Amino acid sequence: MDTFRPDQRSEVMRRVRAFDTEPEMVVRRFVHSLGFRYRLHRRELPGNPDLVFPRLRKIIFVHGCFWHGHDCRAGRNRPSSNKNYWIPKLDRNKLRDRRNRSKLKRLGWDVLVVWECQLKHSGTVANRIAKFLGDS
């Protein structure tokens, strides 16, 4: 059951960050520790990617499981209130993400998506990122 009043919900939603989120910062610190340098949030590229490696033509997106519809528990969780708004919005997010990845691939970029839940297994995700960036 929804425990927020509408004014409380607005306050909670105002605090949701679009960039510089904790999962993104974890990935950025790791990538930096590997010696890679990157650009942030390049607006001229489809999807405004989180980390862009122009010389390597590689991109990393760091997605929140709920907002981007990952196939994990958090990603399958759906709001219980105002479903007519939230369900289509979350579905549009997934569709937009697929389209943006396709556009980037057509433009010659390699794309890696790191999900928030994957950061709980830091060794595994670190290996994926290192392999992705090392395969040039």
> In this structure, is residue 10 part of a structural domain?
no
pLDDT band at 1 (very low <50, low <70, confident <90, very high): very low
Q: Residues 6 or more apart from 136 whose CB is under 8 A from it?
A: 56, 58
Number of domains in the chain: 1
- CATH number where 44 lies: 3.40.960.10
What is the C-alpha to C-alpha distance for residues 7 and 60, in angstroms, rounded to an integer?
Answer: 35
pLDDT tens for each residue of 55-109: 999 999 999 999 899 999 888 888 888 889 889 999 999 999 999 999 999 999 9
What is the C-alpha to C-alpha distance for residues 92 and 32, in angstroms, rounded to an integer?
Answer: 32
Compute the C-alpha angle 44/45/50, nearest 5°: 110
> In this structure, is residue 89 part of a structural domain?
yes
> In this structure, is residue 7 part of a structural domain?
no
Run of H or E including 88:
helix 83-106
- pLDDT of 114 above 60: yes
User: Taking the model in full, what pTM does it have?
Assistant: 0.85
Residue 92's domain spans which residues? 18-134
What is the C-alpha to C-alpha distance for residues 27 and 124, in angstroms, rounded to an integer?
Answer: 12
